[in-house]
Chains A and B, each alone.
Chain A
Amino acid sequence: MGTREGMARALQDLPSGMVRWASAPRESLPRRTTGVTVLDTLLGGGWPRGRMAVLRAAAPGAAGRTTLATAAVAATTAEGRTAAWIDGDASLDPASLAAAGADLSRILWVRGPLSLESTLAAAEEVLAAGDFAVTVVRPPEGSARGGATAGWVRLARGAERARVVLLVLDRGGTAAAAGGILVRVGTLQGRWAGLPGPGSLLVGAEVPVEADEGAADLRLSVAETLDGGGPPPAPARDERPAVPRPSARPVGVARPWWAGVRGAGSALEFSP
C-alpha cells in the first residue's frame, strides 16, 4: 500500500471531533488499583497509569471524591510506593488517610491554601519528578469556573510522560476539558445504625459512581474504630477562631471524652 493510500485510509478511520495523536489508547494502559473492589471492576482494573482521571461531583450534595482519592493513595502506599497530594484548599485530613491504611511516611503533602496557579505549578513539579505513583490534585475553592485550562492540559501531558496516576478532585471546572477519564459521584446517602435520636450512629454511606464504562453504587464505611472497636478518633480541631472565654473557671470534673458518650452524653458543668 502506498503512503498516500495509507494516509487516506487512516483519515477515514478517524472518529469525528478532536483526537489526540500522541496518546495511547486507554485500553492499552496499565492500571493501578483504586483501592475499591467495585470501582476496580467498573474501571476495568483500576485507574489508568499515564492518564488524568477527573473526579467530579455530579450534583449538589454529591460527595465521595476525597474517599476515592484516599483509597487510591492508601492502596499505593500500602504497596510501598509513594504518592503525592497537592492540597490547594488545605482540606486534607491525615487521620482519614491513616484510617484507610495509608503509610503516611510515603505521602508527600503540599499543604495549602494555594492559588490555582501555585496548585498547578506544584503538581507539574511533582509529575516532572516522576517518582510518585499516584498524584492527587485538589484545586482551591473558587477555582471552579474557567481559568488555567492550559495548566490542566500540561498536567495531563505530565501524567502521560511520567506514566503515573493523576487524580483531580474537580469542582466542575475546566480540568475535565483537558481530557482523561471522568468519574462522577452522586449524592452521598448515610447509613445509620440505631433508632433516630440518642443512640444513633453513622456506620457508613452509599454513593453512586458513574464512569464512561458504566455505573455502580459504592458502599463506604465509617472509620473502623467506630465499628465496635476502640474509642472514636479524637475530634481534632485545626485553627479554631478565637472564642471569648468566661471569666470563671469550670467546676466539676470533665469525664474522659471516650467514656459513655455514644449518644447519651454527659456534660461538662461550668459556673457562670
Chain B
Amino acid sequence: MKPANNRRTIPREYACALATALPLQALLRSQPDLAGQPLAVVAGEGTRAILAHASRAARALGAVPGMTPSQARSVAPGVLLRPVAPPVIAAARQALVDAALAFSPEVDACDADAVVLDVRGTRGRYPTPEALGCALEAACARAGLRVRVGIARGPRLARIAARARAGVTVLPPGDEAAALADLPIDALDLSPALADTLGHLGLRTVGDLARIDPRGLGIRLGPEGMDRHRLARGIDESVITPLPPSESFEEAVALEWTLDRLDSLVFLLSAALDRLSARLEGRGMAPAALRLDLDLDPEGTHTVPVRPPAPTTDLRSLLALIRLALEADPPPGPIRGFTLRAEGGRVAGGQGHLFGPPVPPPSRLALLMGRLGALAGPDGVGAPVVLDDAGSDSASLAPFAPRALPETRSPVPPAPGRAGPAAPPLALRRLRPPLEVAVRLRAGRPAEVQGSGPAGPVARAAGPWFAEVRWWAERPEAGACWDVEVTGRGLYRLWQDLRSGRWFVDGQYD
C-alpha cells in the first residue's frame, strides 16, 4: 500500500512577489535620501546609455524610460541620473529572496525582479490567501522593497497575477480563466512571433485566446500557442525549482560622490545594518560577526572586521561597535562605497531551573553584552579567567555564559585550619600598567620607595619571590616580587625586573 502523501492532498498554491523597477528600488534602498526626488536609473554606457527606470517625480517632469540621458536632461534638467552598481541590485534581490524565505522554504528566483514561493500548508497561519499576500507585501516593505503579490494554483499563473495589477491579486481556484479574461494578451509573456500572429488573428485579451477551440490550435500556433492557451484557461501544471538557502547576507552601497567623514559613513551604515538585521531576523538569526569592505577612491579596498560579544539584534550596540572599529582602524582615503557582510548566528537558547538561582536569559544577555561591548569594546566584556601560565598575562576574559543550576548552593564551610568568612583573603588591586618607582635598598631589601605613587619608607618587606617569565622565549624575562608595607601608605606588591634593575608597583593590597 502506498504511504499517504500529504502534500498531494493539499491543493497547490503559489505566491509571486514582484518588485517593479528593481534597480530603481535598489538604489533608493541603499540611499534613502534620494526618495521623493526626480530620479532615473541609467543602463548601459556611452552612446548606448538609456533610462531604464524613472521615478514618479521624474516622469512628472517628462523623463521616461527609453530616453537617452541627454534627452532626459533636455526635457527635465532637474532629474537625477544614476547608474546602479550590480552589487546594490544583487543585495536588493537577495533581500527579496530572504523576505520570501520567511514564508516558505521553497523559493524560486524565477526572474530578475520576482520570486515565486510554494505556500501550500500555510492556511493555519494565514486564514486567507489575501492575508498571506498582505503579510508577504509587508515583509518585503520591511526589507525596503515595494512588491506586487500574485497568488494562484500555479507558479506561472501567480506571476501573471502579480504583473497584472498592483497590490495583492488572488486568482480564485477553478475560476482563473474568468479572472484573467480582461488582461491584455501581452500578460501571457508571448514571444514576438506569437504576439504578431495573435495580433493578426485579432486576439487582444487573454479571454479571447481562452475562448478559441483547442482542436487544431497546435497546428496553427505551435507548442507555444498551445501552452499559452492552457495558461489562459487557468491550467498551470508547472513546478518551481527551489533555491538553496543562501548563507550570505550583504548590503552594498555605491555612491556618486566620495565620503571622508565618519559621521556621514555611519549614517549610511546605519541604514544598511538595519536592512541586514531585518533579513537575518526573518531567518531567525542575528548578526554574529560583521565585515565592512570600504571601496576607496580612486581604487582599493579597506576591510574592517567587527565581532560583537554575542549574536545580538541591538542595532545601537552594533553601530557603536562599528564606529569603534572604524575609529581604531580608519580607512586611508575617501570612500566611494561599501559592502557590509554579516554572518548569522542564533541567539543562544537556554533552559533555566525552576528552583535554582536566576541566570540572565540568553536573549537578554546577548543584548546586554552588545551594549556593554559598545562601551568597553568587544574585548572588554566577559568572565574573568586566571590563566595557568606564569608566562603571560594572568588575567584574561572568557565568554560570559553562566550555567543554570538546579538549586541555590549553600556556602561551603572552610577547611579546618583555613581562613573562613571571618578572615577573607586580602585582594590585590592591580595597577595597569604597573607604576615605575625607584627603590632604595638596604642589605639587598627594599628600604624606601621613591617617586610618584606610594612613596615613603618601607616598614616591613617580604620576599623576594623569583619568577622567570616566558622561559621558552629567546630572551626570557625574570624578576623578583616583594610584599612591602610603606609607612602610612599601605601594603603594596613590588616587582623588580632583574635584567634592567627597574622597579614597578604591581598592585596595592586593598
Contact = CB atoms under 8 A, between A and B. Distances in A.
A125 B368 contact: yes
Contact of A112 (B380, B395, B428, B497): B380
B463 A61 contact: no
Nearest to A194: B462
Nearest to B412: A78
B365 A93 contact: no
Interface stretch (B62-70, B76-84, B135-143, B415-423): B415-423
B126 interface: no
B48 interface: no
Interface stretch (B248-256, B329-337, B476-484): B476-484
Interface in A81-110: 81-82, 85, 90-101, 104-110
Contacts of A69: 427
Interface size class of A (residues with CB under 8 A): 35 or more
Given A188-B491, A221-B419, A236-B390, A204 B426 contact: yes
B467 A238 contact: no
A95 B508 CA distance: 14
B376 A111 contact: yes
Interface in B481-510: 481, 483, 485, 488-491, 493, 495, 497-500, 502, 504, 506-510
Contacts of A187: 488, 490
Interface in A44-82: 60-71, 74-75, 78-82
B418 A61 contact: no
Given A236-B393, A261-B465, A243 B497 contact: yes
B375 A121 contact: yes
B128 interface: no
Contact of B419 (A95, A104, A224): A224
A133 B357 CA distance: 10
Contacts of B424: 35-36, 67-68, 70-71, 74, 100, 220-221
Interface stretch (B148-156, B167-175, B285-293, B403-411): B403-411
B218 interface: no
A234 B461 CA distance: 18
Interface stretch (B17-25, B114-122, B197-205, B432-440): B432-440
Contacts of B394: 94-95, 234, 236-238
A37 to B, nearest CB: 5
B504 A232 contact: no
A112 B376 contact: yes
B395 A236 contact: yes
B393 A238 contact: yes
Contacts of A262: 465
Given A80-B409, A93-B507, A104-B384, A219 B422 contact: yes
Contacts of A232: 465
Interface residues of B, number: 95
A118 B490 contact: no
B364 interface: yes
Contact of B405 (A80, A263, A270): A80
A202 interface: yes
Interface string B372-405: 1001100011111110001001110110111101
B425 A93 contact: no
A97 B360 CA distance: 21
A228 to B, nearest CB: 9
Given A60-B488, A82-B402, A192 B375 contact: no
A6 interface: no
Interface stretch (A7-15, A23-31, A151-159, A250-258): A250-258
A246 interface: yes
A237 B376 contact: no
Contacts of B183: none
A35 B421 contact: yes
B430 interface: yes
B421 A37 contact: yes
Contacts of B410: 79
A114 B376 contact: yes
B490 A110 contact: no
A97 to B, nearest CB: 6
A243 B496 CA distance: 12
29 contacts: A37-B422, A61-B489, A67-B425, A70-B424, A71-B424, A75-B421, A79-B408, A79-B410, A80-B357, A80-B405, A80-B409, A81-B408, A82-B359, A94-B384, A97-B384, A98-B386, A99-B425, A101-B412, A104-B385, A105-B398, A131-B358, A131-B361, A202-B485, A222-B426, A237-B506, A243-B499, A265-B463, A266-B466, A270-B498
